[in-house]
Amino acid sequence: MSTDQGTVIKVSGPLVVARGLTGARMYEMVRVGELKLFGEIIEIRGDDYSIQVYEETEGIGPGQPVFRTGEALAVELGPGLIRSIYDGVQRPLDVLQRDFGDFIVRGAERPALDRAHVWDFVPVANVGDRVEPGDVLGTVQESKLVLHKIMVPQGKGGTVKKIGAVQGNIETEVAVIETAAGPASINMIQRWAVREGRPVKRKMPPVDPLTTGQRVIDMLFPMAQGGTACVPGPFGSGKTVVQHQLAKWANTEIVVYVGCGERGNEMTDVLMEFPHLKDPKSGEPLMERTVMVANTSNMPVAAREASVFTGITIAEYFRDMGYSVALMADSTSRWAEAMREISGRLEEMPGEEGYPAYLGSRIAGFYERSGYVVCQGSDGRQGSLSLIGAVSPPGGDLSEPVVQATLRVVKVFWGLDDKLAFARHFPAINWLTSYSLYQEVVDRFCNEKLDPDWEKHRKRAMALLQREAELEELVRLVGMDALAADDRLLMQAAKMIREDFLHQNAFDDRDSYTSLKKQIALLAAILHYYDDARAALGAGAELNPLLKLEVLDDVAKAKLIAEDQLGQFDELKTRISAAIRDLPRY
Amino acid sequence: MITKEYRTVKQIIGPLILLEDVEGITYGELTDIKLTNGVARRGRVLEVNGDKALVQVFEGTSGLSPQDIKVKFLGKGLELGVSQDMLGRVFDGFGRPIDGGAPIIPEKWLNVNGNPMNPYARDYPNEFIQTGISTIDALNTLVRGQKLPLFSGSGLPHSRLAAQIARQATVLKTGEKFAVIFAAMGITFEESEFFVADFQRTGAIERAVLFMNLADDPAIERIAVPRLALTAAEFLAYEKAMHVLVILTDLTNYCEALREISAARKEVPGRRGYPGYLYTDLSTIYERAGRIKGKTGSITQIPVLTMPEDDKTHPIPDLTGYITEGQVIISRPIHAQGIYPPVDVLPSLSRLKDKGIGKGKTRDDHANVMNQLYSAYARGKNAKELAVVLGESALSETDILYVKFSDAFEDRFVRQGEHENRTIEESLALGWELLGMLPRSELKRIRDEYIDQYYPKKG
């Protein structure tokens, strides 16, 4: 027996306990109280159903009704996602503002996808085709950059009975499929429960680099399409700027940005900036490929817990179309804290630092939804979903549970360092502690497609930086003057790599994005100086003039060379050689 | 509807009371608590479970006995009656006037918890606020709608700095309505008197609203104070088109009150005994700063907190730093050198500075000068540390220049008078003058065109 309504018996912050919901399942959505607040069942003990409520619960009390919906928390997928901004449970924030005002009022509800917009559906499949779930029935030009593919929903495989060009809103029928269970009408919306990953045919190891235009990342700690990365760092070390830079410049076709429990003004920043920034590849505004989920820190904590799942389900949907998708989650620590808060209210036995014992498995489950895959459908198209999570460890302490649970599953670690940030070295990614397990994949790709010296240069740069760190210890004890001349030259080269290559200004128009070509040219110029200078030193040149060459100022400014004038790097190298050659020898 | 009075208090635990056999109670409801001797207190429902209600008593539970209290549930949350007449007035931690003046006739009643601002409705803060303090204006620029806390320690002059900001803050535009809201949470009479006297002396009191919960006032009341202040601020900003600067001091006392309640409820503690929801709770205060598209007014927050043991990784400053848009750090060593304001420039940061400075806002060279001053000062400090270990003789000529630079920087740029109001031009000019101590070739973070224009000519 099942009922469709129950009664509240307990309210404690975002947690409500109700009775009489017989038949309700775990993670089913319910509406709580007269205000019909959104909630989700997260625990069932006998007749007591614990519900996490996505809105402020003031004014809810025992005796008030709880309504079942019979559905798990799900998102709407279809044309209209691109350029949208949603809260953690996919309510469209722009529409809420238009209809309900500048503050989010309780019980406000609007469909996630615009019903009024008319789309042009262009069929790809033909009448009589055998189709399976994931097969593309037709396309809709959703934005200048995104061709939205309307796919056969799960469980709706069969023979196409009817299909044709259609103009209509997302609820308009675009095809009819004769399935085993009879004819199924297909429109442009799918619904998908967020806590369940969307299926793929097959997962494969990543092979292509995900470039970001950030020199320290692309060159030293690269990311791959379909990979996972995390950016932990104390506050003020520039996590959010790194995430924004990735959202702006990642060479993926779709970007999903999840602002999870972070600042409202940061989301505004993205909203205001993205329409004006141009994608370096297509020249179109970045907004044309972006979906945003914003559940800022002051918005209800339970919706924050859901926001990460809402974001990743949307990302998976685009991946299923065969696109490369990147999802940035800022910050997964806030997500973990939301879990901790709910867990505490459920009076669960806590694990480390009050976090629930299932923290590790939840985090692993989230990152495992990434990947480079063969999508569902019979055409064997490939898509990728890359995940980049920011982590905000308390006090910058990397031994805390969220960082540790994340490091167990991610392949790239960009460790932000507040000491670098204080010295205004940005991005403040520490080159000694960070790592990337995609280095080999990316080296292979770049050696082949870009510059055969890629791997060699990268390894030399890393070695110089490592050696510099060792020498610095020594300098701290005995002073710079005590170093041998070639070590001092090495210190100089390492400093140039740090200041003239790794240091990158996100707010400078020219410096904000660097192509791989320019990156390798810039690094090659610095190494060229080091090689020539070392040779000169061996041939009897004096150290000090070598360290004070005027041409080094040009090297320092070489990062501002325009992308269409990379020829200047060859001239620069020539000038470096000439300047060193002209020094007197003894 | 007749509201029922309950005499069914069964437990008193710390600041909480537990009632039984209640009905029709909702979460967050406000309660009137009457003692038989006529004394009245206020409470708020923290949890309802069947016929039991857990109520937090704002004035604390001392002197209460289960037998002699009557509790009335008011059917609504804590509300503040707001009016433009609040300007120039002083209230207690519950929003009742304590300056001897007439009661406020409210234009409307607002729930003090507010509603979260829709991120889509936000307008990006980008209007430069000139505080007249070089370390803030030039290096950690404050903009309208920002929340920029002062991280301080006990015994440091954060109050003087906060008062100086309140006094001097102007926007490089005229004819705008401006208000200051001051919320005191558990600070001493002397500290609060300092602010009140300063506001009175400068006439700022006319455009100020003060909420006072002093050290000897009920601790639990502190939980309501910032919310009252921000509710008044939202009313003045978004309905009366005023630019409101909110000073909250001291957040450490607020967090301790929160911990006290959490402990009394026997909740699973997070770090250092603070509740796991401290981050969420603080964010519902700090995130109420901002601007709204299409509205004139704005709310800028300067929360003040004293870091226990000057430890920045303590949960209170740590979580605050993750929510606020930067922090200004007051440093004990610099204070010990006799420098006012003792701002520790290197770890201080304003996240919104980049949008508030530059051409048309401050000056085109501002960002470059800022970066150069930072990196030069950082290098000078490093060299100085080195000199401590190895002696001055170990330093290169350039490093010695940097050491001299960083000393002069602290002495002239950081140091300024408590009533010295420097314009942004004066601050930048001072910055250039100091950068003039370094050779031109060292100024790697400044574009050539600005160096040509501003670098001091020698001789």
Tens of pLDDT, residue by residue over A134-173, are: 999 999 999 999 999 999 999 999 999 999 999 999 999 9
Give the one of B50, B118, B386 whose C-beta lies nearest to A93's C-beta.
Answer: B118
Please, is A129 exposed, middle or buried when counting C-beta atoms within 10 Å of its C-beta (0-12, 13-18, 19+)? middle
Q: CB–CB of A344 and B119 under 8 A?
A: no
B50 touches chain A (CB under 8 A): yes
Residue A432 DSSP label: T
Q: With contact defined as beta carbons under 8 Å apart, do A511 and A560 qualify?
A: yes
Give the one of B276, B292, B371 whose C-beta lies nearest to A340's C-beta.
Answer: B276
Q: Provide the strand spans (E) within B87-242.
A: 89-92, 108-111, 122-123, 128-130, 142-143, 150-152, 170-171, 178-187, 208-214
Chain A CB contacts of B235 below 8 Å: none
Q: CB–CB of B124 and A268 under 8 A?
A: yes
CATH number for the domain running over B5-77: 2.40.30.20
Chain A CB contacts of B390 below 8 Å: 478-479
- Residue A374 sits at the vertex; the CA angle it makes with A371 and A376, to the nearest 5 degrees, is 110
Q: CB–CB of B122 and A294 under 8 A?
A: no
Q: CB–CB of B28 and A10 under 8 A?
A: no
Q: CB–CB of B394 and A334 under 8 A?
A: no
B295 touches chain A (CB under 8 A): yes
Q: CB–CB of B444 and A481 under 8 A?
A: no
Name which of B300, B182, B229 is nearest B80 in CA terms: B229
Name the token pair of A16. Answer: 């409500």
**What pLDDT does B36 receive?**
85
Give the one of B122, B286, B390 whose C-beta lies nearest to A479's C-beta.
Answer: B390
Domain limits, chain B: 5-77, 80-356, 366-454
C-alpha–C-alpha distance, residues A204 and B59, integer Å = 63
Q: CB–CB of A10 and B319 under 8 A?
A: no
B238 touches chain A (CB under 8 A): yes
Query: Which residue on chain A is closest to B285 by alpha carbon?
Result: A298
CA distance A398 to chain B (A): 13
CA distance A536 to chain B (A): 23
Q: CB–CB of A59 and B48 under 8 A?
A: no
Q: CB–CB of A104 and B374 under 8 A?
A: no
Q: CB–CB of B287 and A556 under 8 A?
A: no
Stated as kind and residue range, the H or E segment containing A521 is: helix A516-538
Q: With contact defined as beta carbons under 8 Å apart, do A522 and A213 qualify?
A: no
Confidence of residue B458 (pLDDT cuts 50, 70, 90): low
Chain B CB contacts of A392 below 8 Å: 322
Give per-residue pLDDT as tens, B245-293.
999 999 999 999 999 988 888 888 878 889 888 988 999 999 999 999 9
Overall fold of domain B80-356: Rossmann fold (3.40.50)
Cα dihedral across residues B351, B355, B357, B361: positive or negative: negative
Phi, psi torsion values for A16, nearest 5 degrees: -125, 140
Q: How far is CA A80 from CA A84, A122, A167, A282, A285, in A?
A: 7, 16, 15, 21, 16
Candidate from A408-422, B160-174, B214-228 with smallest mean pLDDT: B160-174
| Residues in contact with A158: Cβ distance below 8 Å, sequence separation at least 6, in sequence order | A130, A131, A177, A178, A179, A180, A184
Phi, psi torsion values for A581, nearest 5 degrees: -60, -35
Give per-residue pLDDT as tens, B380-413.
998 998 888 878 887 888 899 999 999 999 999 9
Q: CB–CB of A61 and B378 under 8 A?
A: no
C-alpha–C-alpha distance, residues A392 and B70, integer Å = 46
**What pLDDT does B459 receive?**
47
β-strand pairing of A290-295 with A202-204:
unpaired
Best to test chain B binding among A297, A305, A307 (most B CBs inside 10 Å)? A297
Query: Which residue on chain A is closest to B28 by alpha carbon?
Result: A58
User: Other CB atoms closer than 10 Å to residue A150's CB: what's the count?
Assistant: 27
C-alpha–C-alpha distance, residues A479 and A489, integer Å = 15
Stated as kind and residue range, the H or E segment containing B374 is: helix B366-390
Domains of chain A, each with CATH number or no CATH: 5-72 (2.40.30.20), 117-188 (2.40.50.100), 202-437 (3.40.50.300), 454-581 (1.10.1140.10)
Best to test chain B binding among A51, A106, A235 (most B CBs inside 10 Å)? A235
Stated as kind and residue range, the H or E segment containing B366 is: helix B366-390
Chain B CB contacts of A263 below 8 Å: 287, 323, 325
Chain A neighbours among B 401-440 (CB < 8 Å)?
A: none
Chain B CB contacts of A353 below 8 Å: 270-271
Q: With contact defined as beta carbons under 8 Å apart, do A106 and B132 qualify?
A: no
C-alpha–C-alpha distance, residues A569 and B47, integer Å = 68
C-alpha–C-alpha distance, residues A302 and A51, integer Å = 10
Q: Mapping DSSP to helix (H, G, I), strand (E, B) and coil, where does residue B245 land?
A: strand
Name which of A493, A465, A487 is nearest A474 in CA terms: A487
Name which of B226, B283, B215 is nearest B251 in CA terms: B226
Residue the block writes with tokens 């300024």:
B416
Q: Mapping DSSP to helix (H, G, I), strand (E, B) and coil, where does residue A423 land?
A: coil
Query: Which residue on chain B is closest to A56 by alpha carbon?
Result: B115
Parts of chain A with a pLDDT under 70: 1
Give per-residue pLDDT as tens, B56-99.
998 888 888 898 899 999 988 899 999 999 999 999 988 999 98
- Residue A516 sits at the vertex; the CA angle it makes with A513 and A518, to the nearest 5 degrees, is 75
Q: Count residue pairs from A and B with Cβ separation < 8 A.
A: 213
Q: CB–CB of A422 and B346 under 8 A?
A: yes
**What pLDDT does B174 receive?**
65
User: Other CB atoms closer than 10 Å to residue B285's CB: what's the count?
Assistant: 24
**What pLDDT does A346 receive?**
82
Per-residue pLDDT, averaged over B294-312, amounts to: 93
Q: CB–CB of B279 and A334 under 8 A?
A: yes
β-strand pairing of B243-249 with B208-214:
unpaired
Please, is B322 exposed, middle or buried when counting C-beta atoms within 10 Å of its C-beta (0-12, 13-18, 19+)? buried
Burial B206-225 (b: 16+ CB within 10 A, else e): ebbbbbbbbbebbbbbbbbb
Name which of A259, A292, A551 is nearest A390 in CA terms: A259
Give the one of A267, A354, A553 whose C-beta lies nearest to B269's C-beta.
Answer: A354
CA distance B220 to chain A (A): 18
Give me the numbers of helices (H) and strands (E) for chain A, helices first please.
16, 28
**What pLDDT does A1 receive?**
55
Same fold, B5-77 and B80-356: no
What's the gap between Cα A538 and its chain centre? 48
Number of alpha carbons in the 13 Å side-chain half-sphere of residue A23? 11
Name which of B173, B167, B165, B166 is nearest B136 in CA terms: B165
Give the one of A103, A298, A394 whose C-beta lies nearest to B284's C-beta.
Answer: A298
C-alpha–C-alpha distance, residues B325 and B8, integer Å = 47
Give the one of B49, B292, B322 whose C-beta lies nearest to A10's C-beta.
Answer: B49
Chain A CB contacts of B124 below 8 Å: 265, 268-269, 272
pLDDT of B52 over the 90 cut:
yes
Name the token pair of A316. Answer: 């998976």
Query: Which residue on chain B is closest to A239 by alpha carbon?
Result: B322
Chain B CB contacts of A59 below 8 Å: 26-29, 77
Cα dihedral across residues A391, A395, A399, A400: positive or negative: negative
B118 touches chain A (CB under 8 A): yes
Q: CB–CB of A396 and B394 under 8 A?
A: no
Phi, psi torsion values for A583, nearest 5 degrees: -70, 145
Chain A neighbours among B 250-269 (CB < 8 Å)?
A: 267-269
Q: CB–CB of B23 and A476 under 8 A?
A: no
Q: How far is CA A14 from CA A40, A52, A58, in A?
A: 11, 6, 9
Q: Mapping DSSP to helix (H, G, I), strand (E, B) and coil, where does residue A331 land?
A: coil
Q: CB–CB of B145 and A93 under 8 A?
A: no
